Structure 1
Amino acid sequence: MEDYILVEGFKHIRHQQQSFLEKEMIERTKSLYNWMDKRRSVRHFSNKDIPIEVIENIIKTASTAPSGAHKQPWTFCVIKSANIKKKIREAAEEEERKSYESRMSDVWLNDLKPLGTNPDKAFLEIAPYLIVVFKRPFEYGESGEKHQNYYVNESVGLACGFLISAIHHAGLVTLTHTPSPMRFLEKILKRPDNERAFLLLPVGYEAEKAYVPDLNRKSLEKVMQIY
């Protein structure tokens, strides 16, 4: 059997997915579910350092996500600098105060009460790393011409899901932080004009005393329909 074929002149290599017996599939999927069900959004971080190789591996994992036309329209900016983290916290808190005071509806604020959130984002300075995910709606060619990327939000959203799973797999915690608007991140990090801030995630060990809301996830019957 050939190791590759040509499709419209492009090389396609042979793929062989590892598979398992039914009993092992059930055990593996149950084990993964039980582990992922322990994942929580955490706001109480330790400042304990993490090897940069761990962060690199996490981002490499996120980059295995599928993307429209395989354009991989994302950039992961890793922030360790205390000075930059301070600037990000100050700008994020300014936007958050405006949101809590005037942008959010009463219904929205009421929905947030069980989570115990507020404009204070101390975790942005405490966590040893911040990862800012940028989406790239288009690319520049060698002559400066623009080339469109496809299904950008969907692609970057998938990569963020992989990223969060990889963080949890490493035994670390994170929080999906989305101060709105987030254009200040592009300015602070001096990103090119084809990048837009998509998501901000502090990454680290949880604090010695970390607390999360006592919440329940929807049951399988409420999230799955079989036809």
Structure 2
Amino acid sequence: MTADAPRTPNTDSPRYPFVPYDFRRFPEGEMRDRARELYAELDRRRSVRYFSDEPVPRDLIELAMLTASTAPSGAHRQPWRFVAVSDSGIKARIREAAEAEERKNYEGGRFPEAWLEALAPLGTSWQKPYLEVAPWIVVLFEEIHGYEPDGSVRKNYYVKESVGLAGGMFIAALHHMGLVTLTHTPSPMGFLTEILGRPKNERPFILFPIGYPAEGCEVPELRRKSIDEISVWNPTGAGPAHP
């Protein structure tokens, strides 16, 4: 058998039952309207660093998690775990540990100068008060591998891609219901595994503070790239290395 030959599926492996796809088709005009409405809504989404401490009901966080869990994943392994924290003591521990790492990044030389220059227009620093102010912190963990019922290791596939897709859908769900968040990735993030008591087969991926924006909250005035800057259509050959 050559490397390019198709592989015959193992017919002894259990197969998911297949059911008719519940697909709804819309007229083209309605498709455009729906697409424009969704784009306009998501175009208003912004990363927020100034939160109100107003409580957010748990069921809203659960609904965002369920929405995120509809994301596609390699071999349908669904290798994500959402760990939610509203306890003030745990949030304080997370903030203390995150700021200790971030201070080394910003002031201790771990971030290269070019990275600090790129961050400067956003006004970020090692201080992360929102980790205590926001009513919820949700840490998204990637499950490196799972376990079979007998305790043996079960391999997961395309873990980072799958978890990244779920994270994006989580953000969209929060925005759609009227909440704000921020993708925070303190580096390194191993302290989250310890504080939150997660097993060794899980690794922190993104930390999301979640809530309502503080009164008078401001965000940087940014420009998103145009369609011409983000897309290529029917390329016919290799173009220049740089525009």
Same fold (TM over 0.5): yes
Matched, 1:40 2:46: yes
Which residue number corresponds to residue 4 of structure 1?
none
Which residue number corresponds to residue 23 of structure 1?
29
What's the CA shift string for 1:54-92, capped at 9, x where partnerless? Answer: 111010000110000000001000000000000000000
Q: 1:145 to 1:173 in 2, by over 3 A?
A: same
Which residue number corresponds to residue 213 of structure 2?
206
Which residue of 105, 119, 141 corresponds with 2:148? Answer: 141
Matched, 1:108 2:119: no
Query: What amino acid is aligned across from residue 146 of structure 1 in structure 2?
Result: V
Q: 1:90 to 1:9 in 2, by over 3 A?
A: closer
SS in 1 for 2:55: coil
TM superposition shift of 1:9: 5.1
Q: Normalising by the residue count of structure 2, what TM-score does the alignment of the two structures yield?
A: 0.89
Mapped to 2, the partners of 1:47 and 1:33 lie a distance apart of: 29
Mapped to 2, the partners of 1:9 and 1:150 lie a distance apart of: 18
Mapped to 2, the partners of 1:66 and 1:9 lie a distance apart of: 18
Mapped to 2, the partners of 1:19 and 1:188 lie a distance apart of: 47
TM superposition shift of 1:10: 3.8
Mapped to 1, the partners of 2:232 and 2:36 lie a distance apart of: 19
SS in 1 for 2:18: strand
Task: Give the % identical residues.
Answer: 51
Which residue number corresponds to residue 19 of structure 2?
13
Query: What amino acid is aligned across from residue 143 of structure 1 in structure 2?
Result: D
Which residue number corresponds to residue 90 of structure 2?
84
Mapped to 1, the partners of 2:233 and 2:149 lie a distance apart of: 49
SS in 1 for 2:84: strand
Mapped to 2, the partners of 1:56 and 1:202 lie a distance apart of: 15
Mapped to 1, the partners of 2:15 and 2:44 lie a distance apart of: 46
RMSD of equivalent CA atoms: 1.2
Which residue number corresponds to residue 132 of structure 1?
139
Query: What amino acid is aligned across from residue 103 of structure 1 in structure 2?
Result: R
Query: What amino acid is aligned across from residue 68 of structure 2 in structure 1?
Result: A
Mapped to 2, the partners of 1:114 and 1:156 lie a distance apart of: 29
SS in 2 for 1:11: coil
What's the CA shift string for 1:130-149, capped at 9, x where partnerless? Answer: 00000001112233211110
Q: Normalising by the residue count of structure 1, what TM-score does the alignment of the two structures yield?
A: 0.95
TM superposition shift of 1:116: 0.3
For structure 2, list consecutive stretches of 5 or more residues without a partner in the other structure.
Answer: 1-12, 235-243
Which residue of 155, 158, 161 corresponds with 2:162? Answer: 155
TM superposition shift of 1:16: 2.5
SS in 1 for 2:146: strand
Mapped to 2, the partners of 1:49 and 1:68 lie a distance apart of: 36
Mapped to 1, the partners of 2:86 and 2:43 lie a distance apart of: 29
Aligned residues: 221
TM superposition shift of 1:51: 1.1
Matched, 1:97 2:103: yes
Matched, 1:69 2:67: no
Which residue number corresponds to residue 215 of structure 1?
222
Mapped to 2, the partners of 1:52 and 1:82 lie a distance apart of: 15
Q: 1:209 to 1:52 in 2, by over 3 A?
A: same
Mapped to 2, the partners of 1:143 and 1:165 lie a distance apart of: 37
TM superposition shift of 1:105: 1.0
SS in 2 for 1:131: strand
SS in 2 for 1:103: coil
